[in-house]
Amino acid sequence: MKKLTLGTLLYYVLVSIVLVACLFPFLYTIGSSLKRGNELFATSLWPAHPSLSNYATLFHDQPFGAYLLNSVLVSGGAVVLSLLVSVLAAYALGRVSFRGRGVLMMCILGVSMFPQVAILSGLFELVRWLGLYDRLGALVLTDLIFTLPFTIWVLVTFMRELPKELEEAALMDGVGVFTLIFRIFMPLLLPALAATSLLAFIGAWNEFLFALTFTISPEQRTVPVAMSMIAGASSFELPWGTIMAASVIVTVPLILLVLACQRQIVSGLTAGAVKG
């Protein structure tokens, strides 16, 4: 009995360490973002007089709202495009056995693991040639490089799990393949689709390299680039309060979404990796 309590004690100590390590940095960020003036330089977790002045500065000094909108448009666009194409591809790859399927799957996996910086100059030319340089469209297009293989790969594993009888019955009734995919499978796949799109959205939302390289004017900036460029009067005095406010605004929606669908996310992540 004594040994059991010791084990339990150890368990709770370790759990507390993990909890603090995971949560403290973000709590401290929220605290810092609510501090005003000199209070920021005291290291207390929570300000004595919380104030929203950093948030006001953030939106007042720069078009942070526009940056947020840009990020939503780019990530949303990339996710919608990826889903449209990948649902079709995932049906074929997951449920029809045809020759060359294995090769195609390996190619898709290869693209998703590929270092994006390796094709930067080729992409630069493509983006310029399409007249998309310094436009959000360039980012939608280039983000597809990682959102598309990811959504295909994950949706294939989910497609495989759908019952065979359903498909056979539908084909028996002479239902077309689009009706089968969109009317019959789609409702069953909704939770999987939600998780997949959320993960792809997060990937595109965080994308930095392409956004930094293919846009130059402030109007086309996405949030990660804007955050990396928040600067103070001189390079030695960064406006940390404002940066922390931006961090909170960018992160809170993601955390809420992730916590709301944690079950599906965990299954989506593992479908994307372990089973591969």
Of these, 119, 175, 188, 194, which contacts other proteins (CB under 8 A)? Answer: 119
Binding to other proteins by residue 228, rule CB under 8 A? yes
Encoded one letter per residue, x for contact with other proteins by CB under 8 A and - for no contact, window 139-168 reads: --xx-xx--xx--x----------------
Binding to other proteins by residue 266, rule CB under 8 A? yes
- Stretch 61-90 residues interacting with other proteins (CB under 8 A): 85-86, 88-89
Shortest separation between residue 187's beta carbon and other proteins, angstroms: 19
- Stretch 19-48 residues interacting with other proteins (CB under 8 A): 19, 21-23, 25-26, 28-29, 32, 40-41, 43
Q: How many CB atoms lie within 10 A of CB 150?
A: 21
Shortest separation between residue 56's beta carbon and other proteins, angstroms: 19
Rounded CA-CA distance 231/225 in Å is 12
Q: How many residues bind other proteins (CB under 8 A)?
A: 85
Shortest separation between residue 96's beta carbon and other proteins, angstroms: 4
CB of 114 or CB of 190, closer to other proteins: 114
Would you state the torsion angle of the CA atoms of residues 128, 131, 134, 136, taken in this order, to the nearest 10 degrees?
A: -120
Shortest separation between residue 101's beta carbon and other proteins, angstroms: 8
Binding to other proteins by residue 205, rule CB under 8 A? yes
DSSP one-letter string for 2-23: HHHHHHHHHHHHHHHHHHHHHH
Identify the sign of the CA torsion 161, 83, 150, 247. negative
Identify the sign of the CA torsion 254, 257, 263, 269. negative
76 class by beta-carbon count within 10 Å (0-12 exposed, 13-18 middle, 19+ buried): middle
Binding to other proteins by residue 9, rule CB under 8 A? no
Binding to other proteins by residue 123, rule CB under 8 A? yes
Side chain identity, residue 151: T
Supply 161's token pair.
């799990």
Binding to other proteins by residue 18, rule CB under 8 A? yes
Rg (CA), the chain: 23
Shortest separation between residue 10's beta carbon and other proteins, angstroms: 10
Best CA proximity match to 223, nearest among 79, 74, 116: 74
